[in-house]
Amino acid sequence: MKNIVILISGGGSNMAAIVRAAERDRWAERFGARIAAVISNKAEAGGLALAASHGIATAVVPHQAFDSREGFDAALAEAVDAHAPALVVLAGFMRILTPGFVARYAGRLVNIHPSLLPAFPGLHTHQRAIEAGCKVAGVTVHQVTAELDHGPILAQAVVPVLPDDTAATLAARVLSQEHLLYPRAIAGWLLDTLSHKA
């Protein structure tokens, strides 16, 4: 069984969408894959309770307990590796990971970013898209590399930017696409992995 470990920092709406898709689309039967664990850097992250309610193992590695980013990432890697992951999924995990952590999971670490990368890496993507006069915005699922919000693109979805959009209204429209795109991109990754082994 291929284990998927999801990292979250908050409510975990993308994580919830992935969990629902894995159950609905029978990933265990189709891909030999399951969501093995959800790990957060915040004990109060709402997504942990949701994961536990689906019978998924949860863990907390609080970043405040560490003096350095390297120390935190080493402890996080230990928690992740306890589940022997085939894939590590960042779903609203609000920490910049060290190059060492990224290298450890090279080719099997994915992230979702609320813009059409390479446009608008980093924060405040929706406001920046509106200020730039973009007619479309969107979301990107990509493999994680040491450079922030770069790495090979796995999937993208486009949404219109409407004349009266605010950052909040645009964010809501993009989020609805995130919940569709992320599970689809992961299923595609799993299928691709299966075909390479065939």
Which residues are catalytically annotated? 113
* DSSP code, position 162: P
Q: For residue 112, what are the contacts with CB-CB under 8 A and spacing of at least 6?
A: 14, 90, 91, 139, 140, 141, 178, 181, 182
Torsion sign across C-alpha atoms 186, 191, 195, 198: positive
- 116, 196, 190, 122: CA torsion to nearest 10: -30
CA dist 135 to 30, 36, 78, 110, 153, Å?
Answer: 38, 39, 43, 27, 21
Which of 187, 179, 129 has its CA nearest to residue 11? 179
